[in-house]
Structure 1
Amino acid sequence: MKKERFEYGSGHSTPWHAHASGQLYWLSHGVMVIETELAQWTVTPGTVGWFPVGLSHSAWTPGRVQGHSIYPEPSSCCPFPSHPGIYGADAFLMSVLTRLCRSASDAGPEDYQGTLLKLLGYELSLGDPLPLQLTLPTDRRARNVANELLKNPDCALNQSQLAQRWGVSVRNLSRLFQQQTGLSFSQWRQQAKVVASLQWVLAGLPVSEVALLSGYSNVSAYIDVFRQRFGKTPGQFRGK
């Protein structure tokens, strides 16, 4: 079982790649955005990201991050979920992760580590993934529009202007988002804004500034959408 501690600066990115093992991410500071062919995932402190064997993905960091990764061998991955996901990390789960990350001299026998890994896998399998996933359209034109909005959540262009920029009709763009993400274009855009806002929420920026950076001119509207998505206000989400 390979394990590592990492620390990256703002704007760090990794190219598309896949591992011959599973991969677990969790952070002590910052936000990490991981993208697969079908979705974008946001890992924050207090959560654990799980990505199965062979899943092609890339990653980038909007700000400075610190965290850990564990790479369970395929033979150890049986109890883990078959699909990627982000899960809440309570005190018990964090205790297991901390024990697994001990140095080789303190980690204990291999069978002990294997038991902890299986326990971790069962805990994740029994839990419900958090709403930190944003499904991405697979059509090239719609994906270009999605990427534009993900990079610039405060983008002032409307749907018609975005469709024209990327060579697709408004009607087709609406159809593609509905069919390929399960959300209307406006719903998807709203969710992209609020997921993107997590980086500024966790950085401690005032909610009014976070709303503006996320493309919301109305702070109350931003807080309402955030609460609908995560079940908490921005202040509650960052523990204040």
Structure 2
Amino acid sequence: MHETNHATIEQFELDRLDQPAVALMLGAQRNDTEFPVHTHRKGQLVVAYHGGIVCTVEDGVWMVPSGFGVWIPGGVAHSNRVTANGKVGFVFVEPGAAALPQQCCTLVLSPLILELILHLSAQAQDYPPACANARLASVLLEQLELAPTEQLYLPLPATAQLRVIARGLAQDPSNRCTMAQWARQVAMSERSLARLVKRETGLTFGQWRKQWQIIVALQNLAEGESVQHTAEALGYESVSSFISMFRKTLGTSPARYIRATAMPASRAQP
């Protein structure tokens, strides 16, 4: 608990600085950490250097595997949970310092971005304008503006009936209830439930549940779980059917996805 509080204090201290971009790394001794709901004046990029991060905002959940980051604009209430083997970095961006998205999103981070964050996190954060660190911070912000986005996102509905379903799926990711069965549980017709899910999430019920499975799968894989164990946890009768779903959704197999996003040990050290 002491480590969590210390990390939170460090984040808010950096939030008070007016430099365009400041960085913080949390080392291995602060693993298995959950930060409660909070906000920042600055925009915040949460970066997974090893393991993964689950970021929750009011209307959605974002999964951040290693090599990715979730961008949270200033003033957006959020909580972060770092997986048990995770190493995480934070970049705090002064309002107006960069043309970054106005909404939360997952960014695909280049090796250059990851190295710049590591370097800046080891420097004095109250750097003066026009110094070497200020120029590096400017390069970092330029690169972040160019970073592509990835939809590792699960929209969370607002209505009570859909929140019941969301809680049920969160508690038991292997739940294979049909939409008709869920409709009976929340006292709605199947057609009304289908319309409600589409209106609140922009997805069909099947797409929404599949996106939930992808979030859980990425979290499990980031924590080091095997593909077979992950498939079983999600209620798949065979590993091949899980791999097929994963490939159709993300365009690659689970094993290749994890290899592609794995962080070399030399870059994972704060």
TM-score normalised over the length of structure 1? 0.86
Question: Does 2:55 match 1:23?
Answer: no
Deviation at 1:192, TM superposition (A): 0.8
User: Which residue, out of 81, 94, 101, partners 1:60?
Assistant: 81
Q: Share of identical aligned residues, percent?
A: 27
The letter of the residue matching 2:73 is: P
Q: How many residues align?
A: 237
Secondary structure in 2 aligned to 1:197?
A: helix
Task: Give, in angstroms, the shift of residue 109 of structure 1.
Answer: 4.6
After TM superposition, the structure 1 = structure 2 runs for residues 67-82 of structure 1, keeping only pairs within 5 Å, are: 67-76=88-97, 78-82=98-102
CA–CA distance in structure 1, aligned partners of residues 128 and 115 of structure 2: 17
Question: Which string of whole-angstrom CA distances, capped at 9 and with x for unpartnered residues, describes residues 26-68 of structure 1?
Answer: 1222221111122210111111221111111122245342211
Helix, strand or coil at the partner of 1:154: coil
Partner of 1:94: 114
Q: Match of 1:199? A: 219
Among residues 168, 192, 209, which one is paired with 1:189 in the alignment?
Answer: 209
Seen in structure 2, the aligned counterparts of structure 1 residues 115 and 228 have a Cα distance that, compared at 3 Å, is farther
> 2:164 and 2:85 mapped to 1: Cα distance?
26
* Letter in structure 2 aligned against 1:55: V
| Residue ranges of structure 1 left out of the alignment (5+ in a row) | none
Greater length-normalized contact order (CA 8 Å, ≥ 6 residues apart):
2
* Distance in 1 between residues matched to 2:56 and 2:68, nearest whole Å: 16
Give the aligned residue type for 1:115.
R
Question: Gaps spanning 5+ residues in structure 2: where?
Answer: 1-16, 261-270
CA separation of 1:126 and 1:75: change in aligned 2, threshold 3 A: closer
RMSD: 2.5
**Deviations 1:176-196, CA, capped at 9 Å, x for gaps:** 111121211112111211221
* Residue of structure 2 aligned with 1:42, choices 60, 63, 84: 63
TM-score by length of 2: 0.77
Q: Give the secondary-structure state (helix, strand or coil) at the position aligned to 1:238.
A: helix
Q: Distance in 2 between matches of 1:19 and 1:108?
A: 20
Confirm or deny: 8 A CA contact 2:63 2:219 kept in the other structure.
no
Mapping of 1:1-240 within 5 angstroms? 1=17, 2-6=22-26, 8-10=30-32, 12-76=33-97, 78-104=98-124, 109-111=128-130, 112-239=132-259
CA distance in 2, matches of 1:167, 1:58: 31
Matched residue SS, 1:153: coil
